[in-house]
Amino acid sequence: HFVRLMERVHRPVLVIDDLAHAVPLARALVAGGLPALEVTLRTPVALDVIRAMQDVAGGVVGAGTLLTPADVKAAKAAGAKFGVSPGATDRLIKACEDEGLPLLPGAATATEGMVLLEKGFTLQKFFPAEPAGGTAYLSSLASPLPQIRFCPTGGITIETAPQFLAL
């Protein structure tokens, strides 16, 4: 279910400092056709934001910037339905498996992509998209790895978004 959801929708990456903004923002994003909500664990209120957004009809809330097994446990306990990470370690992947939390792991090289593919990850976050080489690099990376669908994030602007979406 997770792979189908992530392949069908664009996923806003949310860094929220004020808990009062959580529910109105989630409602607006869902109404605008963006139901997969990635709340990054970069603010002190992030876990509370995940808890608050659970009640927004039509939304699926996940936790981003998962770095450690402790992050995975906390995100799952807060109600996250999926996790996103800038990279992937064996410990992080195992923690997600243990918690039953679907993971969108990050990869920026062919080797990272291939290692994740061997572990069964056919959908991967391409991060950091622009600093790593943008659409030219992603196109070159994806060409020999057609089994992988990449979700690019990091440094993408309103000007470069159309080129990424075209890929």
Kindly write down the DSSP assignment for every residue of 80-148, as one continuous string. Answer: -S-EE-SS--HHHHHHHHHHT--EE-EE-SHHHHHHHHHTT--EEEETTHHHHTHHHHHHHHHTT-TT-
User: Which residue among the candidates 76, 81, 125, 130 is catalytic per the annotation?
Assistant: 125
Please indicate whether residue 38 is annotated as part of the active site.
yes
Model pLDDT, residue 11: 64
pTM: 0.90
Model pLDDT, residue 12: 75
Model pLDDT, residue 137: 97
User: Which residue among the candidates 7, 38, 73, 94 is catalytic per the annotation?
Assistant: 38
The stretches in the chain having pLDDT less than 70 are 1-11
